[in-house]
Structure 1
Amino acid sequence: MAGQGPIPVIVNGAGGKMGREVVKAVAAADDMILLGAIDRNPACLNQDAGTVAGIEPLEIPITDDREGMLAMAAQEKQPGVMVDFTHPDSVYDNIRAAIAYGIRPVVGTTGLSDAQIQDLAEFADKASMGCLLIPNFCIGVVLMQQAAIAASQYFDHVEIIELHHNQKADAPSGTAVKTAQMLAELGKTYNRPEVEETEKLSGARGATGAEQIRIHSVRLPGLIAHQEVIFGAPGQLYTLRHDTSDRACYMPGVLLAIRKVLPLKTLVYGLEKIL
């Protein structure tokens, strides 16, 4: 039963920027134990996860054997958790594999389609297995989204600009998509057209998300993760912005999600659902 010992945690994507931060955070948490580390990058294989993360050696070698690691975790007395920061191309299979082995996924990788999320939700329900899909683990982002919902009562026009490092594989970001979805759930249609627009360059007006909310993506070296939600009305603009300067800001949310996923019996989407 959960709560009688440290939570066994596997970090999938342990050699990546976010994965290294998760390794450090889990290793420092009193109620968790780093059970294993997975990464497909050949440069990381067989290296100590702690050394790769920039801390003392943890005697946990990084492996690319996902199935073997999940099978080992399934033998633990305590329910296990797999934290996934990998790639949009592999995250769906990673989640299904974890659930099949009885390991609860906590997922920061974005890029899943709506159909994939629905399929995973049904799979988790059948297995009575908790699964958390978190587009953004930062508490400040949740506050920005809540402020955007409040502002939407008074503004009919809104656009989203998200800015990330140029190694991010998917666009728009999961955070931007989630923000647009949250605004759309209020049952309001935004940005009613004033003129017939013509894009001289395809995509110049960004992507059209839920309820006609435009999302614009910027990818540049030097950025980490940033988002603006810009509301407009005659004579005024209201801008909400969140900036990330260090990936450590995500770790309180990651650790919270690891603890919160254990009693769940279904898939939950969004950090705000577990706060």
Structure 2
Amino acid sequence: MTEISKKTIPVLVSGALGKMGREVVNSVLNASDCELVAAIDINKKNNGENISQLLNLKSSEIFVSNDLEGTLCSISQNYRNQEINPVLVDFTHPDSVFENTRSAIAYGISPIIGTTGLSPSQINDLSIFAQKAEVGCAIIPNFSVGMVLLQQAASVAAKFYDNIELIEMHHNQKADSPSGTCIKTAEMIEEYPKQYNEGLVKETESLKGVRGGVRDSGLNIHSIRLPGLLAHQVVMMGSPGETYTIRHDTIDRKAYMPGVLQAIRKIGKFNSLIYGLEKLIF
């Protein structure tokens, strides 16, 4: 931990040794208005090692810890009654993200969650908990500004198209399907309430699931997992005589960092749960 500063935002990074965690640590270390105060990761082999030396990043005096609960408690005490509350950025695993988020809120630390896989009921529980605790919390399925623009465009176009299918493509180390980003896109499309993809014929599948997953609205979602991919999404809309396709491709995780920093800077203005980057940048 570093000396407390009233001018910078204290940031804890959970999942600090992962691919996204590394980018977040690097961005925080290089942001003049942020201060890295903790790096947490379950990799016990690197427990106690200097995060900057481990990742070959800008020099800092922060050491990796395996103890999320203990770190949250310590940081909470160190920054008690300070003008700026600490922020936890979490890029871990769907199995642990719910408890991580609850723990951060309980200690008065604002969680910014990039890990996907939370169920609607879990998000609702966290929303109630954050509101009672009066702690700002952001669940962000995708930190890319380009993806936010895709989602905005898709939600507007939904008024004009009754047939819409979504395809999301990710690397084969992604644990959850469909992606939280794709679910969020579907939800934004469904804000224009109607039934999508009403069949003209009775469909049959000789291979189960070949038409993808179907939401209650009728939207079809297809998930692809392959090495060589990072994060990609296509929204295809069709009507007689035309198709309208919106596509977003992430080719480097650096694309997410402006959104991460925006969330870190803005979350202190809220005392409840925010779902989606658009709530913070528009």
Q: TM-score, normalised by structure 1?
A: 0.96
Letter in 1 for 2:181: T
Letter in 2 for 1:170: D
Gaps of 5+ in 2: none
Letter in 2 for 1:39: D
Which residues in structure 2 correspond to 1:1-275 (within 5 Å)?
A: 4-74=6-76, 75-76=78-79, 77=82, 78-275=84-281
Distance in 2 (alpha carbons) for counterparts of 1:267 and 1:260:
12
SS of residue matched to 1:197: coil
CA offsets, 1:4-36, max 9 Å, x none?
421110000001000000000000011110000
Give 1:56 deviation, angstroms. Answer: 3.3
Letter in 1 for 2:142: N
Give 1:215 deviation, angstroms. Answer: 0.7
Give 1:47 deviation, angstroms. Answer: 2.6
SS of residue matched to 1:21: helix
CA offsets, 1:176-218, max 9 Å, x none?
0000001111112211111111122221111112511111111
CA distance 1:210–1:50, shift in 2 (3 Å):
farther
Q: Is the 8 A contact 2:159 2:192 kept in 1?
A: no
SS of residue matched to 2:46: coil
Gaps of 5+ in 1: none
SS of residue matched to 1:212: coil
SS of residue matched to 1:119: helix
Give 1:235 deviation, angstroms. Answer: 1.7
Q: Is the 8 A contact 1:46 1:63 kept in 2?
A: yes
SS of residue matched to 1:274: helix
C-alpha RMSD of matched pairs (Å): 1.3
Distance in 2 (alpha carbons) for counterparts of 1:24 and 1:133:
21
Distance in 1 (alpha carbons) for counterparts of 2:220 and 2:44:
39
SS of residue matched to 2:151: helix
CA offsets, 1:224-266, max 9 Å, x none?
1000000011121111000011100100000000111112110
Distance in 1 (alpha carbons) for counterparts of 2:271 and 2:122:
18
SS of residue matched to 2:269: coil
SS of residue matched to 2:254: helix
Q: Is the 8 A contact 2:30 2:58 kept in 1?
A: no
SS of residue matched to 2:118: coil
Q: Is the 8 A contact 1:177 1:209 kept in 2?
A: no
Q: Is the 8 A contact 1:15 1:44 kept in 2?
A: no
Distance in 2 (alpha carbons) for counterparts of 1:169 and 1:239:
27
Distance in 2 (alpha carbons) for counterparts of 1:215 and 1:54:
39
Distance in 2 (alpha carbons) for counterparts of 1:259 and 1:104:
11
Distance in 2 (alpha carbons) for counterparts of 1:4 and 1:130:
19
Give 1:51 deviation, angstroms. Answer: 2.9
SS of residue matched to 1:94: helix
CA offsets, 1:99-157, max 9 Å, x none?
00000000000000111000000000110110000000000001111111222122110
Distance in 1 (alpha carbons) for counterparts of 2:144 and 2:105:
25
Distance in 2 (alpha carbons) for counterparts of 1:194 and 1:52:
58
CA distance 1:43–1:216, shift in 2 (3 Å):
farther
Q: TM-score, normalised by structure 2?
A: 0.94
SS of residue matched to 1:72: helix
Distance in 1 (alpha carbons) for counterparts of 2:92 and 2:61:
22
